[in-house]
A and B are shown apart, each in its own frame.
Chain A
Amino acid sequence: MIDCSELSGRMPDVIAGRSEWSAEEARHLTECDVCAAEWRLVRIGSVLYAGREVATERMVQDVLVRLRAGEPVALVPRLSWRKFAMGLAAAASVALAVWVPNRAHQSAVMALPARLGPVLPNLSNVTDEQLYRISLANAGHLADGVPGTVPHLGGLTAADLEQLSSLTETR
């Protein structure tokens, strides 16, 4: 008498070569609909992504280069230039919005984000060239529009940083 649940538990082991079917069990797998469906599922699962190509030698080289360079393990995906530029542009606008050095410069500084307003919401549609220009322009505003010190992250509050990180989130 074949126990279907016993067969079910052994299916991955048979695939892995740790067990094998007796003739009676093999026949059962063709006659019992429940076991046949599960056996099919397990066989498909065992070859899942088997056809995926892996550039092993390139990966070996990349890993060795990064090991030699002592590169820290990234906790976030490495950014492409495009993502970096988008982040930089967004960060610049937030820095302008939250950094108010004193009353004398407040009105001038607070006006800048409004000027950037029409541009920033559409960042996903702009070209790399446009992004580059935006980031340069924003860097220019930071340096030229406000005399004295340039805002830096150390001067932001926790709430500012939270806002900054949510705006620079790339996904």
Chain B
Amino acid sequence: MIVSATDLPSDPELVAAWCGGDELAAAQLVRRHAAALTRYLAGAGAASSEVEDLVQETFLKAFRGLSGWRGGGSLRGWLFRIASNLLKDRFRQSKGRVFLEINDQDLPDHSDPAGELAASEAEQQLREGLSRLPHMQREVFLLRVQQGMEYTDIAGVLGTTPGAARVHYHHAVKRLKEWMG
């Protein structure tokens, strides 16, 4: 049986089900958002060995505090906000060290070997460039480009204004373009 996207329960429906004690709803939410959170945290500089733990912590914190999510913004945005704060705590504990790691196994799998090599090099360059940005520029860039979010939602995630997020984005792009030559 083919299930179309419109047949799938929405995030607010799953949240309501979880609040009513339905564990399967929580499982469904993890399946839906784990990959995006993983990519975001990896790009934001979490140590490779800590990404999975941070994603789990994000879900635990979210599931225990769903009353804090009003349903006004997207659930994913709220999850990113929790993840971003958890990552900030980790950075604080490690005295600001950014754990950006270059790891070949994280690179996309492409069928074209020549294209894959070029993409790998470019992606590694971008990872290095990101690690050199101030954290707000790095996170705004990721939320905007990697996660495809709009400035209003980004502002909600990072606790800033859409205008400020836009400025951070432009600074990030300028510096990354210079870095990537």
Contacts and interface: CB of A to CB of B under 8 A. Distances in A.
A104 interface: no
A159 interface: no
A44 B122 contact: yes
Contacts of A40: 122, 180
Contact of A171 (B55, B61, B93, B177): B93
A44 B42 CA distance: 15
B57 interface: yes
Contact of B50 (A50, A52, A75, A77): A77
Contacts of A44: 119, 122-123, 126
Interface string A57-90: 0011011101100010111111000000000000
B57 A49 contact: no
A37 B177 CA distance: 7
B39 A56 contact: no
A51 B35 contact: no
Contact of A49 (B38, B148, B180): B38
Interface of B: 23, 26-27, 30-31, 34-35, 38-39, 42-43, 50, 52-53, 55-57, 59-61, 63-64, 89-90, 93-95, 97, 105-109, 119, 122-123, 126-127, 141-142, 144-146, 148, 150, 173, 176-177, 180
6 contacts: A47-B119, A48-B142, A49-B106, A52-B106, A73-B60, A171-B95
